[in-house]
Chains A and B, each alone.
Chain A
Amino acid sequence: MGITSREIVVDKAFKFKKRIDELRSKEYYSDEPKTLINLFDKVVVKISQSIEHIKKDDVILIKRINLLLSFYHLCLDEIEHIEANNVPVEMLPIFAEILKKFNVKTTLVFRPNPLYNYSYYPISRHMNEINKSQGYPELKTEDEIAVISFPSSEKTNSLMHCTFSHEVGHHLNEFLGIADEIEPKVLKLIDKNLMKKYAKKYLESLKKTSARIGNTEVTLDKFILEEHVIDRKTGEIGKILRNWLDEIISDTIALYLFGPAFLFSIAEFAISRQDFKKYTENHPPIFIRLKNLLNCLEEMELAESLDEYKHVLKRLKVYKKISKETFETTKMTMSNIENMILQRTIIASFDPAKEMIKKSLDLPSKVFNFSDVKHTIIALRNLIPGNEVLTEKSTSRPIDAISILNAAWIVRINFINELYSQLPKMAKKEVRNILNELTLKSLDLQAFHSKMVKKN
């Protein structure tokens, strides 16, 4: 006699419990990953209890539990490799501090991603949705937990990890409902004339194909009204615009929180992919993202602080050049018209998005301050961590972590040759890695110093 589907589900729950036990034996960077493991444990205990009461022939319930357990096994995959050794631990307190600043009680769990990508996954929210849809609303958790992933190959790349701020921006955007609030306004910005042109082109394309009805050959455009084409396309474009809006908002939040360091990190990450016009339904092209970030940066009036770093300014000029790319062409093909609608609408959304972000985050009081950056720059140029400023009373105070990251980027762009020349027998890639490690060390010392100051 074979194994029953009920027994398969029982086994799946048993294996889940075993995986949880294995995960408990690992060394984590803090208590956060354990919070998630405990949450999974709690859920699976409840599921296991309900399995005991299932009748063998209750196929629907067995299927539901099977699906739930498959989902939770996938969740465990999310946190399979989050031990301290695989994660840039020195970077993490920065994000906990940011959430605290905005009274967001979410636990962030960082995980290395085998894919070369940064991403944000609101895991507890997803858990609640699945539990509810599968008939287990009582498994709802009040804990808010999100997983942020980074390319595993970039573990020690502290400079590139400024991109984390974009992922945290996603969380703040969701938590504060920024995109939800401005989405209707943005949809109203869609150019109706362009939409009409699109519909006409679409109907023209349908004229090329016909269908036989009785004895007559009828072209397909006769089956659909222009208004229907416009409605359907507006819906499709609206979905893309919403995703792009989320990205633009997260970028803007990240820039306000992290200053130019975020711009440099996201640009380096995105530009390495070369194609500035490439986009997906989820992400706008890099030229549009840069356009928004450069506009915001200009408004933040940081130019004066950056004036003395000529290579930084040169790089900003390169970004500006990229940001001038456009989808606008004289060719009025359907795909071009669609791109033009997307481009014009998302660009028109920059200002309303910015205003809403400022209001929601209570800016400008939290806007990035550049005053301590120079102290870290001097230290890093001398190959030592730059984590504190000597005060007039011959004591010292810690420099904030975000200033450290900005300083590290300025050193990377403006003074990297100076570092190479101090370490002549070292390969340039090694020197760049040393800058990353010195930045992590600066953050580590900064965190310790801040803790000691608070305690005293």
Chain B
Amino acid sequence: MQSQIGEGTIDIRLGTRFIIFKGRKIETLDPTEKQTVEKIRELQEMIFIPYGKKFVLHPQEFILGGSLEYMRFPCDIMGYVVGRSSWGRLGLVIETSPIIHPCFLGILTFEFSNLSTAPIALYPGVRIAQIALHKIEDNTKKDCKKILSKSRYRLSTNPEFSKIHMDMDLKKIRNFKIKQAA
């Protein structure tokens, strides 16, 4: 762990599970549709890569991965996940939704894209990303239990599939669409 702590960040390592895309039957992924959950599961698949073996990410490919580290954030700390520049220089883009909220509990799910022209080998256990921590200046003590109960991606030990179907505004749009169609 000591070697992972840098000047302003902490390095995070890659876990053993990945979510890959395999859907060939799905025409569109429309999150307002009722069957979004089923479609996501048809589109994506979790795979396991043991330590010492590699996952080869091909150019233009997009996958999800997880952090090896499991984290529990206190109520007055938040964090940002950013890629490591050494990987970025190879064409690997690591995160598109970088905020870690206070009271977060679980592993991080990374979104990987290979923007280079050569395949990149990813080994579980390598230092893949980094987090920068920030203290929140707030006098009110936050109730982690409450925050945790509202959190969508909580206590996960593996990368998580998207839960976009839980967005309330998407439900409203779906109802609006139904009314329009009627």
Q: CB < 8 Å: which of A85, A384, A395, A440 contacts B2?
A: A395
Question: Residue-by-residue, is A402-428 near B (CB-CB < 8 Å gives 1, otherwise 0)?
Answer: 000000000000000000001111100
Distance of B1 from chain A, by nearest CB (Å): 7
**With A441-B157, A445-B68, A448-B125 in contact, is A30–B50 under 8 Å at CB?**
yes
Is the C-beta of A293 less than 8 angstroms from some C-beta in chain B? Answer: no
Is the C-beta of B145 less than 8 angstroms from some C-beta in chain A? Answer: yes
Q: CB < 8 Å: which of B47, B105, B157 contacts A440?
A: B157
Closest B residue to A388 by beta carbon equals B1
Q: Report the count of interface residues on A (CB-CB < 8 A).
A: 29
| B-side contacts of A445, CB under 8 Å | 68, 70
Question: Residue-by-residue, is A69-109 near B (CB-CB < 8 Å gives 1, otherwise 0)?
Answer: 00000000000000011000100000000000000000000
CA distance A27 to B51 in the complex (A): 14
Question: Residue-by-residue, is B2-43 near A (CB-CB < 8 Å gives 1, otherwise 0)?
Answer: 100000000000011000000000000000000000000000
Distance of A376 from chain B, by nearest CB (Å): 13
Is the C-beta of B78 less than 8 angstroms from some C-beta in chain A? Answer: no
Question: Residue-by-residue, is B93-124 near A (CB-CB < 8 Å gives 1, otherwise 0)?
Answer: 00000000000010100000000000000001
| A-side contacts of B1, CB under 8 Å | 396
Residues of A26-56 whose CB lies within 8 A of B: 27, 29-30
| A-side contacts of B158, CB under 8 Å | 437
Please determine whether B72 and A29 come into contact, CB atoms closer than 8 angstroms. Answer: no
CA distance A394 to B46 in the complex (A): 36
| A-side contacts of B173, CB under 8 Å | none
CA distance A444 to B51 in the complex (A): 10
Please determine whether A27 and B145 come into contact, CB atoms closer than 8 angstroms. Answer: no
Question: Residue-by-residue, is B122-160 near A (CB-CB < 8 Å gives 1, otherwise 0)?
Answer: 001100000000000000000001001100000101100
Is the C-beta of B176 less than 8 angstroms from some C-beta in chain A? Answer: no
Question: Residue-by-residue, is B50-85 near A (CB-CB < 8 Å gives 1, otherwise 0)?
Answer: 110000000000000000101010000000000000
Is the C-beta of A267 less than 8 angstroms from some C-beta in chain B? Answer: no
| A-side contacts of B51, CB under 8 Å | 447-448, 451
Is the C-beta of A382 less than 8 angstroms from some C-beta in chain B? Answer: yes
Please determine whether A422 and B48 come into contact, CB atoms closer than 8 angstroms. Answer: no
CA distance A441 to B106 in the complex (A): 10
| B-side contacts of A426, CB under 8 Å | 149
**With A441-B157, A451-B51 in contact, is A423–B70 under 8 Å at CB?**
no
Please determine whether A437 and B157 come into contact, CB atoms closer than 8 angstroms. Answer: yes
Is the C-beta of A438 less than 8 angstroms from some C-beta in chain B? Answer: yes
Closest A residue to B71 by beta carbon equals A384
| B-side contacts of A422, CB under 8 Å | 145
Residues of A57-72 whose CB lies within 8 A of B: none
CA distance A425 to B155 in the complex (A): 13
Please determine whether B72 and A382 come into contact, CB atoms closer than 8 angstroms. Answer: yes
Please determine whether B70 and A89 come into contact, CB atoms closer than 8 angstroms. Answer: no
Please determine whether B72 and A89 come into contact, CB atoms closer than 8 angstroms. Answer: no
| A-side contacts of B68, CB under 8 Å | 444-445, 448
Residues of A378-404 whose CB lies within 8 A of B: 382-385, 394-396
CA distance A135 to B48 in the complex (A): 41
| B-side contacts of A322, CB under 8 Å | none
Please determine whether A424 and B145 come into contact, CB atoms closer than 8 angstroms. Answer: yes
Is the C-beta of A220 less than 8 angstroms from some C-beta in chain B? Answer: no
| A-side contacts of B155, CB under 8 Å | 383, 423, 434, 437-438
Please determine whether A84 and B47 come into contact, CB atoms closer than 8 angstroms. Answer: yes
CA distance A396 to B2 in the complex (A): 10
| B-side contacts of A447, CB under 8 Å | 51
Q: CB < 8 Å: which of A384, A434, A441 contacts B72?
A: A384
CA distance A385 to B125 in the complex (A): 17
CA distance A85 to B157 in the complex (A): 15
Closest A residue to B148 by beta carbon equals A423
7 interchain pairs, CB-CB under 8 A? A29-B50, A85-B46, A89-B16, A89-B48, A395-B2, A437-B157, A438-B70
> Which residues of B line the A interface, CB within 8 A?
1-2, 15-16, 46-48, 50-51, 68, 70, 72, 105, 107, 124-125, 145, 148-149, 155, 157-158
- Which A-B residue pairs are the 3 nearest by beta carbons? A84-B48, A441-B157, A425-B149
